[in-house]
Amino acid sequence: MQRSFGRFLVAVAAATLAALPAAARDRAAPSALGGLSASPDGLKVDEAGNGVMEPGEAVVVAPRWLNDGLLPLTNLTGTALSFTGPVGGTYTMDDFVGVYGLVVVNTSAWCVDCYAVHVTADVRPALHWDATAREMVLPTASTKDWVLHVGNSFADVPTASGYYRFVETILHNNVTAGCAASSYCPLGSTTREQMAVFALVSKEGASYQPPACGTPLFSDVPAASPYCRWIEELARRGVVAGCGGDHYCPTDPVSREQMAVFVLRTLDSTLQPPACGSTTLYSDVPAGSAYCRWVEELTRRNVVTGCGNGRYCPADPVTREQMAVFLTATFSLQLYGV
């Protein structure tokens, strides 16, 4: 019965989409539909599980739509028009009808009866594997191509790891593709030169490229280094000033206290966190430390909670799995969303 009703909705949606002017197909304007309009506003995937869709796993996909029109949407209903992805995968929509119900003006609503999908492949089509589900909601005829990242990307980051979703998130945002084919090296340290790339890509996006280096700013980062442009861009932004003299120490591991400055100053080069008080959040980060205000600011932003027993372990190197958390939380990177 549900499949018959779903096929009916697909037919109605396709006919409605074809009848709309080309300019109105991606987002129907209120004036074109008597004051009715909806815009995509959020997405949750596998909320009852680990929040990541894996190959072979049937998951619930739950979109959210905003009523940005002039009138209430008394019975917003969605249907999946297609579910596709890279060649080599099989893309199955197990439930292709979404029900949202009443959505009043200037309010968002998650689906109350949502979609279900699963993907399979004998061989993973790509390390960074995304599928796409196209949804149309009626009566507005608004459409959205929802991008669904397929996880379990790295053989050395198990799905049960507390870092798993963070690692998948920075892969999805093209911050890093790991350390080797299908490997992420989660316990490896993050170097100062690597961190320059990670922080800037997290802030500016995967297509960002700083200007090429001319005469190097640091004697140990030659212009021929692939990291030179990234390090010098951080220096121009006032994020880093090297490690002493005219050196940057590019291959040194980033410490946990240094990481706090790296990410916060890259996020906002004008940021000056308040000074620490006499009672500090961590027993091993005293108020006299130059890093104290940055570490405590990260804590206030819920990026870090320390390393246990009231300590922060400021001098410890940042592992690659920890780095994924720092970046995802500081820069609000999304795995699934609009």
Tally helices (H) and strands (E) across the chain. Answer: 7, 9
- Indicate yes or no: pTM above 0.95: no
Q: Other CB atoms closer than 10 Å to residue 219's CB: what's the count? A: 11
Cβ–Cβ < 8 Å for 16, 111: no
Check residue 212 and give its pLDDT: 97
Check residue 33 and give its pLDDT: 63
Residues 130-185: tens digit of each pLDDT: 999 999 999 999 999 999 999 999 999 999 999 999 999 999 999 999 999 899 99
Cβ–Cβ < 8 Å for 170, 328: yes
CATH class label, 2-150: mainly beta
Residues 32-65: tens digit of each pLDDT: 567 899 999 999 999 999 999 999 999 999 999 9
Cβ–Cβ < 8 Å for 163, 320: no
DSSP 253: B
pLDDT band, residue 259 (cuts 50/70/90):
very high
Residues 177-211: tens digit of each pLDDT: 999 989 999 999 999 999 999 999 999 999 999 99
**Tokens 């409605």 belong to residue:** 16
Does pLDDT of 7 surpass 90?
A: no
Tokens of 63: 């979109």
Cα Rg of the chain, angstroms: 24
Average pLDDT value over all residues in the chain: 92
Q: How far is CA 146 from CA 153, 260, 327, in A?
A: 20, 33, 23
Q: What are the boundaries of each domain within the chain?
A: 2-150, 164-331
Compute the distance between CA of residue 272 and CA of residue 27 in angstroms, rounded to an integer.
41
Half-sphere exposure of 247 (CA within 13 A, CB side): 7
Does pLDDT of 28 surpass 90?
A: no
Compute the distance between CA of residue 112 and CA of residue 145 in angstroms, rounded to an integer.
20
Q: How far is CA 121 from CA 79, 85, 128, in A?
A: 25, 11, 14
**Tokens 């790891």 belong to residue:** 161
Does pLDDT of 2 surpass 80?
A: no
Crossing angle for the helix pair 256-267 and 192-204, to the nearest 10 degrees: 30
Instruction: Please name which of 123, 151, 170 lies closest in space to residue 327, comparing C-alpha atoms.
Output: 170
Q: How far is CA 30 from CA 38, 71, 134, in A?
A: 9, 9, 21
Compute the distance between CA of residue 49 and CA of residue 82 in angstroms, rounded to an integer.
24
ω into 139 cis (within 30 of 0): yes
